[in-house]
């Protein structure tokens, strides 16, 4: 998941770190710890690398000290706002093989898009690029599932108007799930843009509410560490 997945989906050119969604079970964390040890990865911030914090929705942050991965950052999560539990994510994953034969298991595009709907400014342009890259690649031979995904997630007024013209029946089905689709008509692009901005603002606010108690917990952990507890 994260920037590296966006690179492999064709929506980014470079990412400085690697974000991983993992199954938070004792056995799997033992395997993960062994892999991190191979990279000489050390926790660089709160919280510590414990099962309860992953299950609580925190991200665990590491920096690699191995010579071949020196300075690379790894963020590990198991639970994200609005995203299904890991077993469902794994069942929908997208497997890709790199030129050197390495196989990567990517979070499915709809799940990655949802995970990227955060309060951070940098994530929203990436969300738009992810969806549009997929749209331009598949729109001429689209499946019903792809059309539904685009109508629920496209963030460009012009492309939403185009999608309405291409798939009016699917548009009618999706309109009940996304009210701003009622504005996806020629001549209403300005209203549609304003509605998209409001939709993004709502997602940002929801993300801030989700993280508020987690940030309080991190503050408590930092204070406890500073007091030597």
Phi, psi angles (nearest 5°) of residue 202: -65, -40
Nearest 5°: the CA angle 23, 26, 27 is: 80
pLDDT for residue 138 is more than 90: yes
Per-residue pLDDT of 149-205, as tens digits, reads 999 999 999 999 999 999 999 999 999 999 999 999 999 999 999 999 999 999 999
* pTM for the model: 0.91
Nearest 5°: the CA angle 88, 101, 11 is: 60
Query: CA-to-CA distance for 130 and 114, rounded, in angstroms?
Result: 11
The predicted pLDDT at position 229 comes to 66
Buried b (16+ CB within 10 A) or exposed e, 149-170: bbbebbbbbebbbbbbeebeeb
The predicted pLDDT at position 76 comes to 96
Range 78-95 average pLDDT: 95
Query: CA-to-CA distance for 187 and 176, rounded, in angstroms?
Result: 22
Query: CA-to-CA distance for 79 and 161, rounded, in angstroms?
Result: 34
Domain boundaries, the chain: 3-108, 123-209
Query: CA-to-CA distance for 58 and 122, rounded, in angstroms?
Result: 20
């Amino acid at each position: 998941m994260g920037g590296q997945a966006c690179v492999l989906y064709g929506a980014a050119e470079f990412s400085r770190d690697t974000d991983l969604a993992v199954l938070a079970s004792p056995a799997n964390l033992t395997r993960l710890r062994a892999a991190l040890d191979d990279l000489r990865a050390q926790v660089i911030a709160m919280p510590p690398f414990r099962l309860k914090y992953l299950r609580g929705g925190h991200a665990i942050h590491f920096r690699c000290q191995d010579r071949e991965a020196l300075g690379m950052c790894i963020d590990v999560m198991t639970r994200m706002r609005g995203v299904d539990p890991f077993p469902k994510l794994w069942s929908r994953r997208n497997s890709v093989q790199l030129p050197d034969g390495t196989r990567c298991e990517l979070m499915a595009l709809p799940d990655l898009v949802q995970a990227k709907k955060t309060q951070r400014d940098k994530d929203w342009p990436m969300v738009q690029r992810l969806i549009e890259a997929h749209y331009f690649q598949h729109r001429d031979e689209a499946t019903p599932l792809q059309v539904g995904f685009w109508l629920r997630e496209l963030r460009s007024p012009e492309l939403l108007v185009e999608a309405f013209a291409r798939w009016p029946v699917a548009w009618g089905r999706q309109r009940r799930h996304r009210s701003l689709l009622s504005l996806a008509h020629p001549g209403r692009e300005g209203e549609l843009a304003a509605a998209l901005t409001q939709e993004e603002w709502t997602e940002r606010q929801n993300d801030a509410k989700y993280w508020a108690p987690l940030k309080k917990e991190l503050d408590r952990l930092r204070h406890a560490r500073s007091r030597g507890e």
